[in-house]
Amino acid sequence: MKKQLTCSLLVAAMAVSALAGCSGGGGDTQTTTNAGGSSSNNNNSSSDTTDLTTDKITLTYWHYEDETTIQLMCEKFNALHPNITVEPKVISDMSTDLSAAAAAGTFPDIFSGTDSDTALANAYWADISEYYDADPETQNLLPTISEYGIGCFDTSMRFAVPTYYSPSAVFIDRNVIEHLNLEMPDTDWTWDEMIQLIKDATVDDRTGMKYYGLGYYNRLDSLYGIAACSPEERAIKGEFGFNGDDFDLSYWAVGEQQFADLKVGGYVSPQQDTQAMEDWSGDWSTWFGSTGHVAVFSEGFWSYQNIWGTDGYQEEYGLDIVPYVTPNVVDEKEHNVISTMYMGGVSTSCNYKREAYEVLKFMSFGVDGWNARMDIYEDESITNSSGVALKHSNMPVPITLDEGVWSRYKALFPTDEEHKPFWDDYFSSITRPVPYGWYNIAGYWNFCDQYFNKIQIHETVDAGAAKAADYVEEATRQANYYHAEAMLGYFGADSAYAEYYGQILSDEDVAKYQAVVDSFAQ
Amino acid sequence: MNKKIYGSAMSTVLALSLLAGCSGTDDNPTTAAPTTQPAETTTVAEETTKAAEVETTAPDNTAEIPQDYKYYFSFDEADERVHYASQDMSATPIVQATNDEITYVTGVKGNAIYLDGTKGAKLDVNGVGSTYTVSFWVNPLRSAQYMPTLQYGPDIHGDVTGGQHYVNFTWAKWDPEDTSVLEYPCVWAYDQNDDAKWPNWYPGGLDDRVKEWTNITMTVDENELSADGTLVIAHLYINGEEFIPTDSDGNERPVQIVFNTMAASDNYDFLLGVNYWDAIFKGAFDEIYIYDYAVDADVAKALYEAGDASAKYEEPEYIVEIVEDANAIDTLGTPDLDLAFWSEFTETVEIKDGDSKVIKFNNYSDGVNSYDNYVMVFTNQAHAADVDPNSVEGNKEFAAVRADAYGWLDGNGENVIPESSFTYTWGNWSKWAQLMRDAEVTLTVSREGNIIKINASNIDYNNAEQLMTATIETSMADSDSCFLTLTGEKCYVELLSVGDALKIEPDSNAIDHLGSVGDNGAPVLGWWSDWTGAYEIADGETKTVTLRNYSSGAENWHNFVTVFANTNIEGHKAPADQSTDYYEYCVLRADAYGWGSEDNAHYSPEFTTSWTDWSAWLAAMKKADVTININRSGSVLTLDYVFAGYDGVEYTETAKVTCDVIDASKPVYFFFTGESAYIELLSVE
């Protein structure tokens, strides 16, 4: 549901320094090389934990990941810290579950969520800057976390860290390309080259099933947003052209229109569970990714792990799927990638915040945690309740840049001579995630819920009934308003957080956001 | 003349086993499971005989299945209590029984009723009381979130009581441990008038059970209540075994539903595969039993064992039934589909520069070749029907455009119109040719200089749109006239209407407007996205409003809406954002529907309309001049509408709403909003 709302606009902002004021990264623009984490398969802790309590305690961790995986992770954490038991729980509905827990006095000590507005509006997440800043491992994470202040929400505090990372991905079926006598593009391709391939690979010989250039899960406007312009033009760090201060949907509109034009032009395959799919493939339930009649896919990375990468799948359907770098519009060699990025934090109600931080770290970016995950994922005899090996059950991508972890992680994917180069290039391209807006921009979800989705922009533009550009001015105004209102509501003097930290925003920021709100009301 | 055409063998969905893979709309897809593949099956002959006294016809397994059922449907043969049911959003009620002949397929015991995905079934069943059993077999060919299988209740849509009230066996992704899996059966009950209770139950760990027979039996005894006493515990048996999952703490998680779901009513619905909101089911049902008591586990097992779950059926091919339309203003060919190419023509329609024409017709074809359909021919000379354009002196043929997105220029078959001039939504030509055997076509044709633009909306027999557009550059000179005639090949065309395309023409005298005009000329206005300013109406006062309403014509609610609230509202800003005291007394749609705040706690409406044909009203509202006299008297708001429709017909409606929170001391304001409409406010006096 939320995915359908996204229309992003981001940019390769490699030169952008860390968010001013956020204590997360202090301007340390990281590279993709290992800066000090472990580099082997071991269980040595990477940071000092001697200050942890020796009391026997139990902490609760609520999450959205595979239940079996996190249960095993809890056990592995306990093996490292025998006095700390972690009880996990899969969240059913974030807002409902958390509010019920708050009312019942059973609030989790740590939780990871699929949006951030719920947590921020209710001051559920505590400021963990003290622990994060003192942790040397945070210096070796995906660089956009510090550069863009992911988890800081444009404040001077850190309320969350990414707990689950899965980037968007473009995939190509090599068999389709070969069948259509087309050339595989360079992995360092451009946006225009991708669009042209989609068009070239849409082939209809008026017999049987047409070949479509594109099958999509992620709309292309979301991808375009991260590729639209140089950081010098606009330092975009979030969807809808968000640069930390305000939105500019003019970039988004270009991608939105381009995608709509492809749909109207007949370059995009039908979706699963539709009459159009049944008419095309003969079966209502067909997924376009199994047809062997689609060339380019705009997918979540999990589509490979969960489906294409399972044993025998590609052979059964005659596919040869390889990942591609999300192309840039401008000539930037470093790629941002729009991503699913659950955010997790330590609860304000938690009595053992230091220990809870250690759990949070273990579950998200910590090297120890990632090595523990690799032990789990490498052993395909371990399955979840559905009998699925855990690496095929929404396995996330490492958030640490630790070379040892990455070496083990890459080994889970094709390593043969023919396919490895594609995977190497792809993995090199996904170190700069930009979360979808609802993970990291205050008020973003309200904007989508109250405005963007209600006026059915995607549907209207996709149907050719209007141009995306028509919406830019008002949508930008609305987005800025919802963000400003949320920043004041979450971090202002009257916010729930004020009880813990006073007014988090500076007076200058308050005045800035209030001006936007006041301007909107006029 | 009626003529049935058996199409060439339709590709059956059963023959394909493409994997149902990545979720298209969810955050967390998981590994997909292969669809099942029934083996070769038999299509049951459609001809059946009616059986009288069906209720007395006992099933074979009399030793095990109690014969004191209140209803039993074997679907072995024609049964006057069984009707196909359409879902027409522009009709009232939305679900209506039809007289269509029932199609049967092989069932678990004898025959089963087949639903083709375009319509469901409505059975003549009324409620049997507070304690009951329902049992049925279902074999779906498709699944979708909230698509109904069996749905029943005293007032499913709330048309009579104002509150929806039902039980629905459906698909949903409610399992929190894997929200990507569409599970069946999920049980969703609702009683809007009983504190809006809306219990939803999922089995957990099941799949969608598509392309297999499943026996569902549910027993209900309203003496068995949930722990808090607010819901009824039901017992669900899947294939004869009671199914009670447990939650993560090991506690049993039985089905819970609302009360009185089998209370007899004058508006009782017992629906198969269709409801008032969701996508329509495709597949088969068999062996439905209804008892006025809760059967025990042994009986539930017997109900399952009496059927053969391994029975297979093949999706019946679609049979085209040509019923000649008496309202056709012209025809091409005959129902024998022997029309020779370039042999018959309709009377020409002039397409003036800058104008658009809308032509509606039925297209029947033999489904053999993609070109066996209608053809549009653009020339410079007018001619009468059945005149070959080439026989007209001075004729110049600018373009001939086939339905299958192909054509040529200047009367030269070698001068093919570039492929890039066309777009079309279909991706399988074999299938498309089949679908065009029975299609309702709406052509919107316009001319801009030497450019001819075509929007061909072909609604096939699945009620799906097969859309073709063309933008064709011709050799037409500015001084040339342009006429369109239709011809075709191996098809039968019934021309139904020719008219001017509706054009939204903004009125400079309007004092305000809502919405915009899309590139395709259609109105664009999202629900609750724009509002006029408010006007206060004092107690005892009457105000007269005039406005012009353009709508999409697609849904009844795609029109203007009148909102009454307690605070003044500035136009084009979200009302609730303008005052913390904002309170909506009521929201009244133009289509005689509305609601109040607080779950209608203070909202009591009475609607009367001069029309019963909602399709006609909906068509008229595409462009209607509307006058509304709004009167406030105490707590009663009365709106007398006059709709001067696009069709030249005047429709009237009265909405009388009592809002008991309104008294003389409270201010009342009204303003307008709408959906998929373009609304021009002309005066408020």
**Bond before B506 cis per omega within 30 degrees:** no
Mutation target to probe the A interface, by most A beta carbons within 10 A, among B31, B369, B416, B419 is B31
User: Is B179 part of any domain?
Assistant: yes
Read off the pLDDT of residues A463-514 as tens digits, 9 standing for 90 and up: 877 889 988 998 999 999 999 999 999 999 999 999 999 999 999 999 999 9
Centroid of chain to Cα A324: 17
| Domain boundaries, position B137 | 68-305
The reply to whether B434 and B300 lie within a common domain is: no
Q: Which of B11, B14, B22 to mutate to test the interface with A (most CBs of A within 10 A)?
A: B22
- Cα B591 from Cα B166, distance rounded (Å): 24
Tens-digit pLDDT profile for residues B432-451? 999 999 999 999 999 999 99
**Are B80 and B219 in a shared domain?**
yes
Q: Is A164 on the interface with B (CB under 8 A)?
A: no
Instruction: Give pLDDT, residue B43.
Output: 30
Residues of B in contact with A4 (CB under 8 A): 25
Which H or E element spans position A459? helix A457-462
Q: Give the pLDDT score at A50.
A: 84
Task: Determine the Cα–Cα distance for residues B274 and B87; give it in Å rounded to an integer.
Answer: 7
Shared-domain flag, residues B96 and B139: yes
Amino acid in position A194: M
Helix A367-378 to helix A353-363 angle (10° resolution) is 40
Residues B649-665: tens digit of each pLDDT: 899 999 999 999 999 88
Q: Looking at the predicted structure, is the pLDDT value of residue B400 above 60?
A: yes
Is residue B298 domain-shared with residue B430, that is, in the same domain? no
Contact across the interface for A89 and B20, Cβ inside 8 Å? no
| pLDDT tens string A72-88 | 999 999 999 999 999 99
pLDDT tens column, A444-473: 998 998 888 877 788 888 887 788 998 899
- B57 falls within a domain: no
Three-state secondary structure of A41-59: CCCCCCCCCCCCCCCCEEE
B30 vs A: CB within 8 A: yes
Give me the CATH topology for the region A168-335+456-467: D-Maltodextrin-Binding Protein; domain 2 (3.40.190)
Asked if B670 and B564 count as a contact pair (C-beta separation under 8 A), the reply is yes
pLDDT at B468 over 80: yes
In a domain, B332, yes or no: yes
Look at residue B13 and tell me if it is in a domain. Answer: no
Query: Side chain identity at A182, as an amino acid letter?
Result: L
Q: Give the H or E element holding residue B121.
A: strand B120-123
List CB contacts of B632: < 8 A, sequence separation 6 or more: B537, B538, B539, B540, B541, B542, B638, B662, B668
The pair of structure tokens assigned to A498 is 């004020």
Per-residue pLDDT, averaged over B319-348, amounts to: 95
In A158-293, DSSP assigns E strands to: 161-173, 212-216
Give the Cα separation of A246 and A258 in Å (integer): 24
Compute the nearest-CA separation of A281 from chain B (Å): 8
d(CA B156, CA B195): 16
User: Does one domain contain both B567 and B633?
Assistant: yes
pLDDT of residue A333: 59
Classified as helix, coil or strand, B549 is strand
How many CB atoms are located within 10 Å of the residue A57 CB?
Answer: 17
- B15 to chain A, any CB pair closer than 8 A? The answer is yes
Give the N- to C-terminal CA distance of chain B in Å, as an integer.
Answer: 56
Query: How close, in Å, is residue A286 to chain B by CA atoms?
Result: 5
Q: With 80 as the cut, is the pLDDT of residue A45 above it?
A: no
How many domains does one find in chain B? 3
Tokens 């039902």 appear where? B166
- A477–chain B Cβ distance below 8 A for any pair: no
Q: Any chain A CB within 8 A of the CB of B619?
A: no
Task: Please check whether residues B544 and B472 belong to one and the same domain.
Answer: no
**pLDDT score, position A40:** 34
pLDDT band at A4 (very low <50, low <70, confident <90, very high): very low
How far is it, in rounded angstroms, from Cα B36 to Cα B184? 15
| pTM (two decimals) | 0.81
Residue A500 belongs to what H/E stretch?
helix A498-501
Name the nearest CA neighbour of A219 among A297, A316, A312, A336.
Answer: A297
- Shortest Cα distance from A39 to chain B (angstroms)? 31
Q: How many CB atoms lie within 10 A of CB A238?
A: 27
Q: What is the pLDDT of residues B210-238, one digit of tens each?
A: 999 999 999 999 999 999 999 999 999 99
Reading the block at residue A58, the tokens are: 């139990």
What local confidence, expressed as pLDDT, does residue B517 receive?
83
Query: Contacts from B454-458 at CB under 8 Å and sequence distance 24+?
Result: B454/B376, B454/B401, B455/B520, B456/B403, B458/B363, B458/B403
Q: How far does Cα B588 stand from its chain's mean position?
A: 23
Closest CA to B114 of B182, B206, B46: B46
Residue B349 in any domain: the answer is: yes
| Short-list A432, A503, A360, A513, CA closest to A165 | A432
Cα distance from N-terminal residue to C-terminal residue, chain A: 32
Q: What is the bridge-based pairing of β-strands B319-323 and B560-565?
A: unpaired
Calculate how close chain B gets to A306, using CA atoms only, in Å.
5
Q: Which residue has the higher pLDDT, B256 or B31?
A: B256
Distance, in Å, from the CA atom of B220 to the CA atom of B232, rounded to the nearest integer, reads 7
Q: Could B429 and A463 be called an inter-chain contact, meaning their C-beta atoms sit closer than 8 Å?
A: no
d(CA B160, CA A181): 62
B15 contacts on A by Cβ (under 8 Å): 282
CA-to-CA distance for A246 and A239, rounded, in angstroms? 11
Q: Which contiguous run of DSSP H or E holds residue A85?
A: strand A84-90
CB contact under 8 A, B427 and A265: no
- The rounded distance, in Å, linking the Cα atoms of B140 and A424 is 44
State how far the alpha carbon of B70 is from the alpha carbons of B58, B82, B126, B132, B289, in Å: 12, 15, 10, 10, 8
B528 and chain A in contact, CB less than 8 A? yes
Q: What is the CATH number of the domain that holds B154?
A: 2.60.120.200
Domain boundaries, given as residue ranges, for chain A? 168-335+456-467
Which of B500, B522, B554 is where one domain is finished?
A: B500
Q: According to the model, what pLDDT value does residue A344 have?
A: 97
Determine whether the interchain pair A2/B210 forms a contact, defined as Cβ–Cβ distance below 8 Å.
no
Enumerate residues 455 to 484 of chain B having a beta carbon within 8 A of any beta carbon in chain A: 462, 464
Mean pLDDT of B303-319: 94
Residue from the list A283, A289, A450 with its beta carbon closest to the beta carbon of B13: A283
pLDDT in the model for residue A193: 94
B32 inside domain: no
pLDDT band for B482, please (50, 70, 90 cuts): very high
- What per-residue confidence (pLDDT) applies to A522? 62
Express each pLDDT in B584-616 by its tens digit: 999 999 999 999 988 788 999 999 999 988 888
Who wins on pLDDT, A52 or B11?
A52
Residue ending a domain, choose from B436, B468, B500: B500
Question: What distance in Å separates the CA atoms of residue B130 and residue B48, rounded to the nearest whole number?
Answer: 36
> Which residue of chain A comes nearest to B576, CA vs CA?
A450
Last residue of a domain, one of B459, B478, B500: B500
Residue B209 lies in a domain: yes
Q: Reply yes or no: is the peptide bond before residue B185 cis, omega within 30 of 0.
A: yes
What's the CA dihedral at A32, A37, A40, A44 to 10 degrees? -160
